[in-house]
Structures are given as C-alpha cells and as structure tokens.
Chains A and B, each alone.
Chain A
Amino acid sequence: MLRGTFTRRGALSAAAGVVGAGVTVRLADAATPHASHQHGGVPAATVDPEVNGFDPSVILRDFDRGKTRKLAGGRTLREWEIVASDKDIEVIPGVRYAAWTYNGRVPGPTLRAREGDLLRIRFINAGTHPHTIHFHGIHSAVMDGTPGVGPGEIEVGKEFTYEFEARPAGLHLYHCHAMPLATHIAKGLYGTFIIDPPEGRAAADELVMVQNAFDTDFDDDNEVYAVNTVAFHFMHEPVRVRRDELVRIYLVNIVELDPINSFHVHGNFFHRYPTGTSAEPTEYTDTVIQGQGQRDVLELRFPSTGLYMFHAHKTEFAALGWMGFFEVAE
C-alpha cells in the first residue's frame, strides 16, 4: 500500500520490478543539467557566497572588535550596531530558507572584547517580529535581553542599546530571547561572543565554528545540519591550516530541536577548555559532546600535512551536512 505524501509519513510495501506502460523517462548521466550533481550524497559544489551575502569560510576568522576608544582611566569602550532583519538564505545547494538574521548573516557577527572592557551594543529591529539580544555573561537584569525584564522585547522598528562590562573571560553566546524562544533561535538569530582574558591567549590560527541546523519543512525536526550555516561547505572549501601551527577552535553548539551535538576530528587529538573560562584543559580527546548552547575552546596542532575530516559524531548530523575537511599544508 502506498501512503507517501507531502509532509506526511506513510508506509509502502514495495517489490522489485517495474510496472506497465505510461510515462517514459530517460535518465541522463550525471553531467547533464538535470542530474543531481552530487557525489556520494555530498553536493558537488557549495552555495555561492554571493547568494547569501556571507561566506562560511570567512566567518571562521572574522572577528568584530567593534569601534573602540579609550575612556577616562584607560578603560576601553567597544561599540557595535546590530540590525535584525528577515532574509532568505541558501542552506544547501538549491534549498532556500526564510531566516531571521543579525546584520544579514547566520551566524551573526562574532563579537570580541577583552575582559573588563565596557561594551555598548545598539540593537535595531528591522525585522517583522519583536526581537532581543540576550548575551551570555555577567551583567545586570535590565541588560539581559529577556522578555518582561528591562526593555524586554524590542518591537519592530524600535531600538535599544545594551551596555555592560565584558565578563567573565571565555567563549559565550548571544541570541534572541523573544518568544517562542526555539523559533527565534532556530531561524538564525544567534552569534558568538568571545571575551579574551586580560593576559590574552597564546598566538594561534583561530577559527569560529558555530554548529547550527535548519528545520526547512517546519515539522519540528531539523533537515539540514552545518557548521557556519551551509551544509557540506567545508567538504568543498577545506579549512586551510599550517602543519605544527597552533589551531584554536571556538566551538559553539546552537542547534535547536536536537538535545546534543558533537565534534570529532580525524587523525588528531585536541585539548578541551570548556566555555574557555580556564587556562587549564580538562580533557585530551578527539570527540566532544555539546548540549544546546554549550561551548568549548579546542586547541590542537596537525603534525602532518594532508586532508583530515571533521564532523559530528552524531553521524546522522554528519550525513545531513555537518562534515568537512581540514587541509594541512607546510
């Protein structure tokens, strides 16, 4: 019995062999415009960054330190302007998703400060729903971006300036906290918030990897998984690093609708610094599990050149887009 239908699940008891006369379909080879242009399930190309207006590879190393000036007493003031807006983005070749964005990208800009800086974030809601920015960190209630507290939800066309001190040092998040919360996060309103310790960190090739996912058919289940939004992107555009150079990964899990996510690297091990709040690693491993909103700073060096895969070891997510390569060169 056949019951497979649009947005509904059904069962089919199928048998091998084909059927009678009707429509004739000639299947051309993979090089024709109508073939899927995929290789083993991985699309043969990634999404053109021009389509989305942002590039997952650029997001890796794109740190926004804001406009800065020194205040009386020598303290640094950092100022940003963040605009929420609606935007269609392509999350896997050929598939558009109606996202909500901070500054036109998913994830939003990676905001970076030093512990003790004064931060001022002017938030403008140019979207079509009320939004906020809720920062993880230590700050007053009125600056928390929570509905019903302080300014609460910022209405469409309105703005609010959040102001607080950068603390504690570590790897944090910011995201919309308007209700319904899962929807406002899942549609793309999130970003990475890094507070460097006063003494800084050792020089490294630093990479921001935001694990995210998209429920493209609105069935409360994600269909597409990625790092920095575009599924399989780093299969085509490997993360290029140098042999023996210290690589520091700011790993964030912002996937909604699934309780856990994970990161695994091939041919190597890394030191794990949970939330980046301690100078001492807690683990030396090749796989880390993260719950929703969890973050880890990972440090590693590749001793040999070549291609090394990284992916979710929740392998369903890997096969649905969350996989890529490091390309290690001299």
Chain B
Amino acid sequence: MKAPVAVALLVVALAAGCGAGGPGELAVTQTTLQPRAFTLVLRNGSDEVVRVAQAIVNDAFVDFFASARTIPPGDVEAFVVPYHWIRGENYEIRLMTSTGSTVDSEIDDAS
C-alpha cells in the first residue's frame, strides 16, 4: 500500500544560539506539535556528516518525513513525525542515525 502523501510547508524558527546542544553535539533544538504530527529540528554540531535512518516514538518505530535525511556538519534539518498524539500525555521521540546513535527529546503534557 502506498503511504499517504504528505505535503506540508513548514517555517521553522532557528534563532542563533537557541536550543540545546553545544559544539560537537547532535541535538534536537526544537520540538513542536501540530495536529497529528510532531516536528523536530535537528542540529548537527559535530564535524561529521550525519544521516538519520529511523524514528521512534514511545518505543515504537514510526514513519517520518524530511526534505533531506543527511545533515552536513553545522547544518540543521526538520523532521516531521506523523503521530496521533493525545492531549495531556507524555512522549519520548528518538531519531536514530545510520550508526545506531540516538538523539532524544521529550514532550511533557502534550497540548
């Protein structure tokens, strides 16, 4: 079965220096909720190219979308994770790279 076509245009704020992750780190700098989706912004603060291979929400592999899955050093990329989240519940969202490393972010009290 073909996956549902998901086309969206997102504008994501990336103020210089905001968010987590210092130099040398791969970090989620922003997480936002939309109806039936999470959006994560991943910053590659390392000196190596990073490729995101999988996404996990609350211990389950899930679909995700991005305009590019490979992130050069110093660059950022937004990842949209379609998910029918429940108001007031908590979520742990993980992005897994091609080396198996994971980058985590958590949402408390989704609203």
Contact = CB atoms under 8 A, between A and B. Distances in A.
A232 B39 CA distance: 25
B21 interface: yes
Interface in B25-48: 25-35, 39, 41
A321 B47 CA distance: 31
Contacts of B25: 5-6
Main secondary structure of the interface of A (DSSP, over half): loop
Listed residue (A4, A41, A93, A320) with the most chain B CB atoms within 10 angstroms of its CB? A4
Contact of A21 (B3, B13, B28): B13
A13 B108 contact: yes
Nearest to B39: A18
A40 interface: yes
Contacts of A18: 10-13, 32, 34, 39
A28 interface: yes
Main secondary structure of the interface of B (DSSP, over half): strand
Interface string A236-266: 0000000000000000000000000000000
A121 interface: no
B106 A36 contact: no
A321 B62 CA distance: 11
B111 A16 contact: yes
Contact of A96 (B4, B78, B100): B100
A320 B53 contact: no
Interface residues of B, number: 69
Listed residue (B3, B80, B110) with the most chain A CB atoms within 10 angstroms of its CB? B3
A16 B60 contact: no
A282 interface: no
A31 interface: yes
A35 B67 CA distance: 7
B63 A36 contact: yes
B2 A95 contact: no
Interface in A78-97: 91-97
A22 B9 contact: no
A8 interface: yes
B102 to A, nearest CB: 5
Given A14-B32, A319-B60, A6 B21 contact: yes
B81 to A, nearest CB: 9
Contacts of B78: 23, 25
B5 A30 contact: yes
A185 B103 CA distance: 25
Given A12-B31, A28-B7, A223-B56, A6 B19 contact: no
A30 B4 contact: yes
A29 interface: yes
A14 B78 CA distance: 16
B33 A27 contact: no
Contact of B102 (A19, A223, A319): A223
B48 to A, nearest CB: 12
Contact of A321 (B21, B61, B99): B61
Contacts of A29: 3, 5-7
Given A17-B32, A27-B10, A30-B6, A41 B60 contact: yes
Given A12-B105, A17-B32, 11 more contacts: A2-B31, A2-B105, A8-B104, A13-B109, A14-B110, A16-B34, A27-B9, A29-B6, A96-B99, A97-B100, A217-B102
28 contacts: A2-B105, A4-B28, A4-B106, A8-B104, A9-B92, A10-B104, A11-B108, A14-B107, A15-B33, A16-B111, A18-B39, A23-B41, A23-B78, A25-B66, A27-B6, A30-B5, A30-B63, A34-B67, A41-B63, A92-B54, A94-B51, A95-B96, A216-B96, A216-B99, A216-B100, A216-B102, A217-B101, A232-B61
Q: Which 3 A-B pairs have the closest CB atoms?
A: A216-B100, A4-B105, A94-B53
